[in-house]
Chains A and B, each alone.
Chain A
Amino acid sequence: EVQLVQSGGGLVVPGGSLRLSCEGSGVSLTTFNMNWVRQAPGKGLEWVSYIDRSGGRGIVLYADSVRGRFTISRDNGKNSLYLQMNSLRTEDTAVYYCVRENRGFDPWGQGTLVTVSS
């Protein structure tokens, strides 16, 4: 089955850090650009970050709301994508999805909930 398997969410206090992971299962990530998208409770979709297929020295982009606090990276050898989230704020509380760029955004990971609360 083609899927993106996410891990790493949870509860964290404001100012804390979390690292999200996303691994391709039955699907290659290595030759595709990748993104993180989040959805706050009861709200719409918000794009978070992008990394091109080359990883290391390639293009990375961030939404204004997370720039300087979040870092996207990938390990093509492990067919995996990561999001390091630092200086977390209550407004970062959301379900985070990893998603491959292929004919739009497809497929999507199952989502992982990040809750920032004291």
Chain B
Amino acid sequence: QSALTQPPSVSGAPGQTVTISCTGSSSNLGAGYDVHWYQQLPGTAPKVVLYHSDIRPPGVPDRFSGSKSGTSASLAITGLQADDEADYYCQSFDDSLSGTVFGGGTKVTVL
């Protein structure tokens, strides 16, 4: 059981918008710790797509956006494309566990 909860899967047709939720608690997101989001394509290392909740690194399209409020965060992908199909993970720090925590991951499928 992850300290951060994500839906196992979401799907959408090309061009649509999908949103991935990341639900934490008072010891991680609710304590004010940052949330970061990663994309992992099959057979590759994860890559950060959002850091500090909503900042995109160079090269990440503005179709990716994020938000954080209280004990929850979310990642939205608008204008869904075939190459967005991947696993996505949220990440934060947890006081109770004294370490970094990841969500269980969400598989995005483009229909």
Residue ranges of A at the interface with B (Cβ–Cβ < 8 Å): 35, 37, 44-47, 50, 61-64, 97, 103-106, 108-111
A63 touching B52, Cβ below 8 Å:
no
User: Does A108 contact B47, Cβ atoms closer than 8 Å?
Assistant: yes
Q: B103 — nearest CB in chain A belongs to which residue?
A: A44
Main secondary structure of the interface of B (DSSP, over half): strand
Out of A47, A104, A108, A109, name the residue touching B99 (CB < 8 Å).
A47
Query: Which of these, A35, A105, A110, contacts B36 with CB under 8 Å?
Result: A105
**Which of B57, B98, B101 meets A106, CB within 8 Å?**
B57
Knowing that A63-B99, A106-B57 are A-B contacts, what are 9 other residue pairs whose CB atoms are under 8 Å apart, sorted by A's residue number?
A45-B102, A46-B102, A97-B45, A103-B55, A104-B34, A104-B91, A105-B36, A105-B91, A108-B45
Q: Which one of A46, A50, A110 lies within 8 Å of B45 (CB-CB)?
A: A110
6 closest cross-chain pairs (CB), A and B: A104-B36, A104-B51, A47-B100, A108-B45, A44-B105, A104-B48
B60 CB to nearest chain A CB (Å): 11
Q: For chain A, what secondary structure do more than half of its interface residues adopt (helix, strand, loop), or is it mixed?
A: strand
